[in-house]
Structures are given as C-alpha cells and as structure tokens.
C-alpha cells in the first residue's frame, strides 16, 4: 500500500511542478504536460482522501478511473504538439479513450473481465504508440533533450507495463500479491523516469547543459581565426540549430539603432525572399519568448513572421542575447513546439557572449590585416615616388652639370691666360662656348621651374579665346630663322578657329613642338602645321619628315629627361620640352598624341578645347572624326579606284567625288585632311574647285594636290595647291608625298589576309610559313571544294590557288570565284607546278592576276611575293619569302 | 729625327662643346703629359669600338650617357681583356652621385673625373695614369 502511495505521490509531485511552471510561463505545452499527470495526481488525492475521510462516492471513483484511462491519450496529445503525427492516430486514440470510459461507466465500476481486457488493451496500445512517437522525437534531437525524451518514452512504456501487471493480478486472485508488487515497482520506475524527464533536479540539468555548451564552444573555437566575424556567428547558428533540433536559426545584432542579420541557417540565401519588417522590434524583447504563427496572445513581430514564412516554420523562439558589443537576438524557427529546450536555450544564450568575443577577435584580426595591406601599399607607393624623385634629381644633376662643364672649363682656361696689364686675350670661340652653355643652362632651369609649377598645381592659366592661325603664325615666324638656316620648308595650314587657352602657354606648347621638329628634321626636309576642328576641340598637328620615333619610345619621349633614339647627339635639348608640353596641354584639359613610323617622320597632335560652339553648318551635322582621311575628286572611275586602292591599302580613310560640286560638298561635310584634285571634271572644273576651296574660310587650310594629265604646276601652286602631280601617279610617289606632309594613316597598316587553296599539305605549309613571316594572315584550304566554301564564307585580299587538285580542280575553283559577284573582285594568283598549255591559258584568261610556277626550289615564291606586294601595297622582301 | 706620336688618347663624348674643351685644355697645357699626344674623338660607342679595333690606345676618356648606349658597357667589354692590352679607362661624366661612382668602379674603370671639372684636374688625372714621356724624346 505504501509503495502505491509513494508512486502516486511522485506523479502528483511531477504534476504540481509542471503546474507551477505553467503558472509561471502560461505555455500551453506546459499545461498539456501537467494535464498528462493530472489523472495519476487525482488518484493520489483519492487514496489520501480514502485513508483520512473514508470511501469517496462511486461517481468520484468512476470519474477518477475514467481520467486515468485518458492518461495515454493525453500523452499522445502532448506528443502531437511537439512533432508530426497523422491525424487518424490522434482521433483513434481519442476514440479508444471514449470507448474505454463508456465501458467503465456502463459497468458501474464492477470488474467485468471482457471490458477490462478491452480497456487495458486500448490503454497499453495507446501508451505504446505514444512511446514510439517519443522515441522517434528523441532520435531527431541531440544532447539533454534526447535523454529526456528517451526517459519520457521509458516512463510511458513502464506505466503501460504497470497497468498490465495490475490487471493481470486482478484477474488471478491467487497470485494477486506478487502481481501487485510487480505492478507497483514498475509504476515506481515509471514515475521516476517521468520525474527525471520532466522535472530533472538542477544538478542534472547543469551537467547536461555544460556538456552541450562544451560541444558548441569546441565547434566555435574551430572556426579559423582569420575568418570574418560572420563566419563565427554562422558556426554558432549552426550549433544552435543542431543542439535544439530547430528547422532554422537567425541571429540579429544591433547596429546603429537597427538590427543587422549576421547569420542564418536553414533559410534561403537573402535575395527576393528577404524578410521584411522592423527587425529592431525583435531586439527589444526582455526574455525568451515563444511565438506561434496565427496564435494569440502575443502578436508576432512582422520580421519574425517573415522569417517563419521563409523557413516554413510555425513556432519562433526569440532568445535575447546580452552581448558585450551590444544587444542581439537569436531566433529559432520550428515547425512544432519543442520539449525540453529551455535549458539549452538558456545555455546557448550564455555561449553567445563567447561567440561575440570570438567574432570581435576575428573582426580585429581582419582589420589588422586590412590595415597592414593598406600600409604596405602606401609604403610601396611612397618607395616608387621616392625612387622617381631620386631618378629626377640624378637626371637633373647630370643635365645641369653638362653645360656647367663647358662654362667652368673655358672660363678656367681664360683665367690662366697671361695678363697684359689688367687684360687677357682669349679666343673668341671660348666666349661663345660659355655664352651658349649659359643660355642652355638658363633654358634648363626655366623648364625645371615650369615643370615644378605645373606638377605642384601652382601654374596659373589665363585662358581666353585665342586666334589659332595668328598664334601659330607668330611662332612659325619667330622660329623662321632657325628653320631657314637648316633649309627646312614649313607649311602652315590652319583653319580660322579659336582655342580656349592661355596665350603665353599656347605659344610655349607650339614653340616646343616646332623647335623639336626643326631640331630633328634633317636639312631640306619639310614641316607641316595644321589646325582644324574636331568636335568640341581644336586639333593642332605638327608633322615632320624627320627620322620618326620608334614605337617603344613613343611614351618615353613625354617623360622627363628622355629623348628617343640618338636624339641627344644631334639636338642638345634639355629633355624636358615634351614632358613640359604634355603637362601644359593637360593643364588646359587637353591631350597630346603622337603618331609616327620610323623613317616616315613624326606627327604630334595637340587637342585643346575650342573657344566657340562646334560649327553646325555641315550638311548632315555629324561631328567629324580626327582622321577624316583623303578626298579624291576625280571623274575617271578607274583612276579614282586606283588612287583609292593605293590610299586604303596604306591605311588612309578615303572618300571619292566624281564632280567638282560633289567634291566641294564632300570637303565641307567630311573635313578631309588632304584633297587629291583632278582638273578635267564635268561641270565646274578643278581650277574652279580649287578657287572655291581657297575662298572658303573653313576649307582654306586643307592641303590640295592637283593630279592632272597635263602639267600646269606653276598655275596650280599659284592658285593655292600645295603640290602638282602629272598622271599617271604611282603608288610610291603618292604615299611618300602624304607621309612627307605629315599625313600619317589613321588606321595603321592594313591587315592582309590571304586564302591558299592546295591539296598538298607541304605546299600549304610553305605558303603559310613564307607569308606569315611578312605579317600576312594565311588561311589554308585543303582542296578545291573547301577553298570555295572558305572563299564564300569571308572576304580575302588575295587568293592563291593550285591548279591540279582531285575532284574540284583549280580551273573549276577559279571559274566559280569569277562567276560569283561576291568573289569576282578578289585577285587570284595561280601557283602551280603544272606547265600551262595554250588552252589552259585561255581558260584562265581574265580571271587571274598572275601565274607563278612552283618548283622544288620554291622558285615561284619570290614572284608570288612580288605579286602580293603589288596587290596589297606591302613591301615584300624576296629573301625573307624564300627563307 | 724620329717622329714622336706620344700618348694615344681616345675621347668618347657626344657633346661637341665638351670635346672641344678637352682638346683645348690639352693643347693649352704645358704639362709634360700633354706635350705630345694624339686625341682620337668618338661621338658614340660604335665609333669608339671602331677606333679601338683599328689601333690600340693608351687611355680612354669615357662619357657615360651616350646616344647608342652606356659608357660602362664599353668599360665592361674592355675590362675582360688582359691588363697589358687594356687601356687605362677614366670615366668623364656628369653622373656624379655616389652610387653612380660605385657603378663606374665596379665596371672596371680605373678612375673617375666628374663634370664640371677644372682643366688642371684633367691634366693631373692624365699625369697620374700615363707614364712620363721619354726625356730623350723631348726636343
């Protein structure tokens, strides 16, 4: 009897404990748990009452028994709250309870064996189902909750066993004592298991929590020290998820009065589904709060609701984090309420402080790394700057000492000449040497000072609208003596434009460029100064027929103390002129460009802002590109075509006009760099065109070359043409004239692509090797059919074709190329080992430009190379081709 | 009377005025070392190499920044030759910073005279490196 009392007292104790918890937190989960133990607790009260007050009324006993029969269902009800369970299980166990209770009430408390069997069976079966669900839940969890869920399952099973034992004892009066004892002992074990599961003593809770905390901390510490703070928080969030078996977890930290998400686990990566709402509201929670979607009494903050929706969760547990770095909140998202998480949640809240410390350390480390990086970068920049400064000082020292050497040397010699009275007689040239060296030194010092001024931004520009032709003429006149002494011809062709520039600095820029050109151009050469409008800028270009500047020197010449090639030997310049010019131009928000080809002179173009709005008188209103190219005014189509071909192959942009009127229109709209003009034109003749051009302020500066069948060069030059060629004009004369006048092709050398059709791989290889060495791109086609396909797929400058090929032979290929309008214009060269018969020649006549023989000695290749050279405008060196 | 050619000095210098200065200083000096000499002038390294290939010299006055290369290139080439055949090399340059002087020594130059120099410094330098002329040869 005592055992029974103890068991019932224990259950009552659990019940009271749980009711107290419920009273504190008002958590529906706690209420359900308390209810589960209520049946046994009522039995305890009844037993006590029976001992002290006597037998209670039958109705009370029946109701208490019915309540006891409901204990398994109440367990099921609890399990359903914390995990997934099919509805039919719930409803069938409820039905089982109702049936059992009905049978009990109908029987009026008498033990009818059949109904007892049914009641016990329903009771045990329901308990078994509940235990199975509890075990399944336990397996999904870790740490203390797992142990506690397993204990609860054990308690449930033991309780069922106790009921079986009690009923068995009741059915066998002979053995009642033994069965009753067994039943009581089992019930006692059950009660203990329940007690440990639902109200564990505090020392046990602490032990479990400490173990779980150790696991979380160990994982946190394993996060790499140099990982960003977010990685530490992420690791923490993952541990939290694992420890609590949550679907998802989010960590928000306060940052400038707002909440910043630092980690999320089990939620989609932020993007379109970014939870909306005021996160900061979540930071204001004072204690751990459970919130259920769509459930009173607590309204769920919008942000929490959004997270719950994103995770597909119904329950949000918000754990406030009190961190050394500020407030934060941990959100645990679950589909169901969780049993036994209170301790873990408490523990995790504590661990968050350590996480914050680790994250802070990571932040400090990454800050240190970033600062170290910045420091070493600025150190490197300083080193470079210091090196540049040292180089500049070394160069300056060298440049200043060079003229001083002559000054000191010759003056020292003077001092040692014998005195006659108080006078010495010295050679006049010594004085000249000292003087010129002094002048050089002065120029150097002035340029260094100017450069320093521009460099430090202290240069003062007095910008004003500046008459371009007047300013350029002024410089050209000043330097006339110098250019004439070298026999140089300086042509100035500047459109009437106004630049927005500082007059003194503009003069300095042009003087530097012109004196450079004079210095570097060999005697008898030409210098061409042009000024025109390019969009909102004016472009002043100075072209010379000097030695040109190699590609590798084209940037270097603008640097301090640098001169290209062997310039120093001839020029005696300071090496600062172009550096200063570039900086002066840049100070005007302009830019300077250099085009040059070794042996073909150099052309410097300075772009400065124009003082006036762009001219809008051009017919189509288009702004013109800087390399507006060459305009050919010629009515004879073959001549115009030939001139265009020459120019295009060399890389010039070309436009043509067949009449004088069209030519004038084209000149006005396209603003060409030069005009090639025929005299005999339909309508107004070339003389009239020339006169019109020279009377138009906007066209006057364009150099015009007359190309005519009859020689009237004196008239032409008198009317303003810069040169006069008598037809026929060969390619070389034309191109070298353009180069001499500083008209450098805008597109650079044209890229030549050749198609080689042959069935012999060795021949294709030879052609490819030979022509590739000349910078010609070679596409090879193996056989006639492939060749035709390739020829139609894209355009080529030249096609090389073998004659004897299997299937589609060379004759067929050439006929097909000739008959197709797309390929008819492409020159074809026959390269064959085959000796051509008269019939062959007749078949090829008019369809190919040359026939080369291919022998074992590759003797046909030089001839082929010459043909390619003529057709493409490239100079091909025979020796190279053979090699 | 046997013709006396005296010392053969190769002057490698691209600046016309500075070449004139060396010539004038030697012509005006009455120091024994300057009394009989032949100056061979070269404006760049290529000309200097051509002169050296044609006939040996006793001493080279070598500028550093030359149009077709650096004077030290020539010094390094010559320092690989065995000493008796190798002329004395004196760097005559406006590159006078300490590290530049170190480079000059490292490249095998025998001495260094920085620009601007006083005429007597050039004479002293020559006297220090060229053997005294045979007194019998002096008229």
Mean pLDDT computed over A618-636: 60
Lowest mean pLDDT across A278-287, A313-322, A796-805? A278-287
Q: Does A565 touch chain B (CB under 8 A)?
A: yes
Cα four-point dihedral sign A859, A865, A870, A871: positive
pLDDT computed for residue A804 by the predictor: 85
Give B-chain residues touching A401 at CB under 8 angstroms.
Answer: 94, 96, 114-116
Distance separating alpha carbons of residues A137 and A160, to the nearest angstrom? 19
Nearest beta carbon to residue A394 from set B67, B68, B97: B97
Phi-psi region of B36 (alpha: psi -120 to 50; beta: other; left: phi over 0): beta
Cα–Cα separations (whole angstroms), residue A191 to A81, A205, A328: 22, 18, 40
Q: How far apart are CA A336 and CA A316, in angstroms?
A: 9
- pLDDT for A626: 41
Kindly tell me if the per-residue pLDDT of B89 is higher than 90.
yes
> Does residue B85 register a pLDDT over 80?
no
| Partner residue opposite A401 with nearest CB, options B43, B96, B119 | B96
Candidates B28, B97, B117; nearest CB to A413: B28
A428: contact with B, CB 8 A cutoff: no
Contacts of B97 in chain A (CB under 8 A): 394, 397
CA–CA dist A725, A263 (Å, integer): 82
The answer, yes or no, to whether residue A457 has pLDDT greater than 80, is: no
Is residue A168 predicted with pLDDT exceeding 60? Answer: yes
The residue among A390, A399, A409, A413 with the most chain B CBs within 10 A of its CB, best to mutate, is: A409
Residue A562 is predicted with a pLDDT of 62
Phi-psi region of A263 (alpha: psi -120 to 50; beta: other; left: phi over 0): beta
Residue A838: per-residue pLDDT: 84
A827 contacts A864 by C-beta, under 8 angstroms: no
Which range is most confident: A82-96, A213-227, A603-617? A82-96
What pLDDT band is residue A616 in, cutting at 50, 70 and 90?
Answer: very low
* Alpha-helix residue ranges (DSSP H) falling in A424-502: 428-455, 468-478, 480-485
CA distance A46 to A55: 9
Tens of pLDDT, residue by residue over A107-130, are 776 667 778 888 888 888 888 998
Q: Which residues of A touch B29 (CB under 8 A)?
A: none
Picking from A795-799, A850-854, B13-17, which range would have the lowest pLDDT averaged per residue?
A850-854
Task: Work out the burial of residue B8: count CB atoms within 10 Å of its CB; fewer than 13 is exposed, 13-18 middle, 19 or more buried.
Answer: middle
- CB contacts, 8 Å: A433 with chain B: 17, 20-21
What mean pLDDT comes out for the span A75-86?
83
Are residues A404 and B116, on separate chains, in Cβ contact within 8 Å?
Answer: yes
pLDDT at A336 over 50: yes
The stretch A389-407 carries a mean pLDDT of 86
Q: A311-325, A570-584, A803-817, B8-22: which has the highest mean pLDDT?
A: B8-22
With cut-offs at 50, 70 and 90, classify the pLDDT of residue A867: low
Q: What is the pLDDT of residue A172?
A: 63
For residue B21, which residues of chain A lie inside 8 Å, CB to CB? 405-406, 409-410, 433
Instruction: Among A135-144, A272-281, A462-471, A726-735, name the most confident range.
Output: A462-471
Residues A36-64, mean pLDDT to the nearest whole number: 78
What pLDDT score was predicted for residue A742? 60
Across the interface, which of B44, B67, B118 has its CB nearest the CB of A408?
Answer: B118
Q: What is the mean pLDDT of residues A484-503?
A: 85
A484 to chain B, any CB pair closer than 8 A? The answer is no
Q: Smallest CA–CA separation between B79 and chain A, in Å?
A: 25
Structure confidence by residue, pLDDT tens digits, A412-448: 999 888 888 888 888 999 999 999 899 888 888 888 8
Residues of B in contact with A569 (CB under 8 A): 14, 43-44, 67
ipTM value for the complex:
0.84
Q: Per the CB < 8 Å rule, is B15 touching A433?
A: no
H-type alpha helices, A547-619? 567-571, 577-587
Residue B120 has pLDDT above 50, yes or no: yes
Minimum CA–CA partner of B45 in chain A: A566
Return the pLDDT at A620.
37
Q: What was the pLDDT predicted at A654?
A: 85
The residue to which tokens 């367990």 are assigned: A75
- pLDDT, position A876: 44
> What is the reported pLDDT for A869?
61
Residue A662, token pair as written in the block? 């069209």
Q: Which two tokens stand for residue A753?
A: 């692509």
At B22, is the pLDDT very low, low, confident or very high (cuts 50, 70, 90)?
Answer: very high
Nearest to A569 among B67, B96, B115 (CB): B67
Write the pLDDT tens digit of every residue in B31-57: 888 888 889 999 999 999 999 988 889
Question: How far B47 CA lies from chain A's nearest CA (Å)?
Answer: 13
A413 and B24 within 8 Å at the Cβ level: the answer is yes
Whether the CB of A562 is below 8 Å from some CB of chain B: the reply is no
Interchain CB distance below 8 Å, B115 and A401: yes
Burial class of residue A321 in the structure, from the number of CB atoms within 10 Å of its CB (0-12 exposed, 13-18 middle, 19+ buried): buried
Residue A871 has a pLDDT of 55
Please name which of A662, A648, A655 lies closest in space to residue A625, comparing C-alpha atoms.
Answer: A655
Q: For A659-687, what is the mean pLDDT?
A: 87
Examine the pLDDT at A627 and tell me if it is beyond 60. no
Q: What is the pLDDT of residue A803?
A: 86
> For residue A25, what pLDDT is reported?
66
Q: Cβ contacts (< 8 Å) between A399 and chain B: which residues? A: 94
**Residue-wise pLDDT tens digits, A555-585:** 778 877 665 544 443 445 567 788 889 989 9
Nearest chain B Cα distance for residue A443, angstroms? 17
Q: Which residue of A has its CA nearest to B26?
A: A413
Tokens describing residue A394 = 């070394």
pLDDT reading at A462 higher than 60: yes
Does the pLDDT value for residue B62 go beyond 90?
Answer: yes
Nearest residue in chain A measured CA to CA from B29: A413
pLDDT at A116: 80
Q: Mind listing the pLDDT tens digit for each residue in A497-556?
A: 889 999 999 999 999 999 889 988 888 888 888 887 777 788 898 888 888 888 777 777
Query: Which pTM does this prediction carry?
Result: 0.45
Could you give the CA distance from residue B105 to residue A612 in angstroms, rounded to a whole number?
61
What percentage of chain A reaches a pLDDT higher than 70?
A: 87
At residue A624 the predicted structure's pLDDT band, cuts being 50, 70 and 90, is very low
- State pLDDT tens for residues A693-747: 888 878 888 888 888 888 777 777 777 788 888 888 877 778 777 766 666 555 4
Residue in B closest to A437 by C-alpha: B17
Distance of CA A338 to the CA centre of its chain: 46
Question: Min CA distance, B116 vs chain A (Å)?
Answer: 4
Quick one: what percent of chain A has pLDDT higher than 90?
6
Which two tokens mark A418? Answer: 């014998």
Q: Do A566 and B95 touch (CB under 8 A)?
A: no
CB contact under 8 A, B117 and A409: yes
Q: What percent of chain B is modeled with pLDDT above 70?
A: 89
Residue B83, classed as helix, strand or coil, is helix
CB contact (8 A) between residue B17 and residue A398: no
Q: Tell me the per-residue pLDDT of A757-797, one tens digit each, with 9 for 90 and over.
A: 998 888 888 888 777 766 677 888 888 888 988 888 777 87
Q: What is the pLDDT of residue A571?
A: 46
Give the least confident one: A1-15, A637-651, A699-713, A853-867: A853-867
Mean per-residue pLDDT over chain A, rounded = 79
Residues B24 and B53 sit within 8 Å (Cβ to Cβ): no
Q: How many CB pairs under 8 A join A and B?
A: 76
pLDDT at A681: 87
Residue A561 is classified by DSSP as: T
Chain B hits for A409, Cβ within 8 Å: 18, 21, 25, 116-119
């Amino acid at each position: 009897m005592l055992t029974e009392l103890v068991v019932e007292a224990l259950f009552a104790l659990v019940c009271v404990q749980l009711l107290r918890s419920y009273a504190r937190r008002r958590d529906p989960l706690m209420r359900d748990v308390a209810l589960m133990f209520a049946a046994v607790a009522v039995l305890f009260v009844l037993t006590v009452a029976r001992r002290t007050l006597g037998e209670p009324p039958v109705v009370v006993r029946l109701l208490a028994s019915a309540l006891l029969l409901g204990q398994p269902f109440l367990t099921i009800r609890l399990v359903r709250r914390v995990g997934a369970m099919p509805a039919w299980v719930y409803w069938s166990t409820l039905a089982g309870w109702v049936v059992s209770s009905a049978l009990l009430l109908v029987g009026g408390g008498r033990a009818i064996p059949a109904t007892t069997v049914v009641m016990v069976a329903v009771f045990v079966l329901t308990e078994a189902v509940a235990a199975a669900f509890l075990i399944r839940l336990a397996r999904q969890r870790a740490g203390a909750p797992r142990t506690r869920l397993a204990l609860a399952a054990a308690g449930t099973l033991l309780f069922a066993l106790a009921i079986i034992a009690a009923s068995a004892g009741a059915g066998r009066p002979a053995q009642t004592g033994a069965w009753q004892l067994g039943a009581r002992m089992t019930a006692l074990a059950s009660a203990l298991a329940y007690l440990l599961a639902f109200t564990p003593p505090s020392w046990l809770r602490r032990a479990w929590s400490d173990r779980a905390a150790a696991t979380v901390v160990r994982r946190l510490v394993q996060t790499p020290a140099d990982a960003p703070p977010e990685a530490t928080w992420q690791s923490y969030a993952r541990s939290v998820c694992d420890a609590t078996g949550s679907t998802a977890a989010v960590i928000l930290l306060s940052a400038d009065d707002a909440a910043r998400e630092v980690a999320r686990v089990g939620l989609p990566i932020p993007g379109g589904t970014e939870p909306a709402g005021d996160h900061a509201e979540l930071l204001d929670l004072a204690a751990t709060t459970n919130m259920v979607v769509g459930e009173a009494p607590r309204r769920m903050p919008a942000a929490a609701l959004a997270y719950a929706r994103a995770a597909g969760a119904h329950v949000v547990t918000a754990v406030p984090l009190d961190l050394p770095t500020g407030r934060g909140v941990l959100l645990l998202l679950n589909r169901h309420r969780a049993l036994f998480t209170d301790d873990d949640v408490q523990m995790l809240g504590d661990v968050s402080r350590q996480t914050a410390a680790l994250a802070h350390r990571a932040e400090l480390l990454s800050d240190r790394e970033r600062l170290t990086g910045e420091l070493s970068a600025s150190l490197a920049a300083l080193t470079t700057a210091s090196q540049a400064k040292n180089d500049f000082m070394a160069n300056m020292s060298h440049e200043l000492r060079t003229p001083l050497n002559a000054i000191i040397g010759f003056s020292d010699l003077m001092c040692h000449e014998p005195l006659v009275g108080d006078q010495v007689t010295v050679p006049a040239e010594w004085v000249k040497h000292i003087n010129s060296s002094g002048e050089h030194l002065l120029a150097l010092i002035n340029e260094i000072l100017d450069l320093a001024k521009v460099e430090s931004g202290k240069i003062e520009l007095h910008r004003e609208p500046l008459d371009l032709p007047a300013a350029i003429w002024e410089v050209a006149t000043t330097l006339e003596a110098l250019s004439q002494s070298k026999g140089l011809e300086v042509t100035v062709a500047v459109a009437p434009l106004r630049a927005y520039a500082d007059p003194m600095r503009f003069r300095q820029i042009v003087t530097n460029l012109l004196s450079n050109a004079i210095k570097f151009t060999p005697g008898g050469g030409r210098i061409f100064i042009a000024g025109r409008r390019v969009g909102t800028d004016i472009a002043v270009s100075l072209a010379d027929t000097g030695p040109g500047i190699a590609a590798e020197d084209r940037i270097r010449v603008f640097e301090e103390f640098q001169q290209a090639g062997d310039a120093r030997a001839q020029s005696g310049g300071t090496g600062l002129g172009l550096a200063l010019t570039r900086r002066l131009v840049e100070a005007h928000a302009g830019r300077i460009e250099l085009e040059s080809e070794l042996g073909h002179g150099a052309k410097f173009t300075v772009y400065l802002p124009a003082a006036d709005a762009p001219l809008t008188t051009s017919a189509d209103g288009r702004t013109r590109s800087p390399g507006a190219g060459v305009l050919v005014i010629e009515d004879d189509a073959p001549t115009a075509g030939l001139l265009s071909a020459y120019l295009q192959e060399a890389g010039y942009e070309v436009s043509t006009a067949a009449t004088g009127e069209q030519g004038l229109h084209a000149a006005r709209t396209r603003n060409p760099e030069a005009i090639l003009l025929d005299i005999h034109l339909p309508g107004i003749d070339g003389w009239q065109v020339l006169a019109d051009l020279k009377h138009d302020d906007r066209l006057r500066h364009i150099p015009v070359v007359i190309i005519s069948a009859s020689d009237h060069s004196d008239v032409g030059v008198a009317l303003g043409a810069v040169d006069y060629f008598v037809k026929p004009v060969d390619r070389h004369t034309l191109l070298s004239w353009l180069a001499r006048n500083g008209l450098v092709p805008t597109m650079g050398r044209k890229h030549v692509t050749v198609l080689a059709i042959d069935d012999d791989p060795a021949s294709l290889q030879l052609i490819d090797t030979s022509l590739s060495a000349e910078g010609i791109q070679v596409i090879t086609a193996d056989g006639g059919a492939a060749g035709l396909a390739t020829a139609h797929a894209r355009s080529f400058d030249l096609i090389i074709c073998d004659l004897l090929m299997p299937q589609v032979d060379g004759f067929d290929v050439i006929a097909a190329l000739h008959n197709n309008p797309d390929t008819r214009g492409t020159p074809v060269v026959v390269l064959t080992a085959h000796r051509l018969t008269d019939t062959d020649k007749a078949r090829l006549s008019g369809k190919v430009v040359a026939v080369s023989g291919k022998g074992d000695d590759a003797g046909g290749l030089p001839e082929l190379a010459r043909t390619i050279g003529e057709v493409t405008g490239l100079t091909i060196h025979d020796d190279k081709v053979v090699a | 009377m046997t013709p006396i050619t005296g010392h053969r000095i190769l002057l490698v210098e691209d600046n016309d005025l500075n070449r004139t200065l060396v010539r004038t200083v030697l012509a005006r000096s009455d120091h024994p070392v300057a009394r009989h000499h032949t100056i061979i002038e070269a404006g760049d390294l290529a000309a200097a190499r051509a002169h050296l290939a044609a006939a040996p010299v006793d001493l080279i006055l070598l500028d550093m920044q030359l149009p077709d290369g650096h004077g030290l290139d020539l010094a390094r080439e010559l320092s690989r030759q065995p000493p008796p055949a190798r002329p004395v090399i004196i760097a005559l340059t406006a590159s006078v910073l300490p590290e530049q002087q170190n480079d000059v020594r490292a490249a095998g130059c025998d001495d260094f005279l920085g620009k601007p120099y006083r005429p007597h410094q050039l004479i002293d330098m020559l006297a220090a490196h060229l053997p005294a002329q045979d007194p019998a040869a002096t008229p």
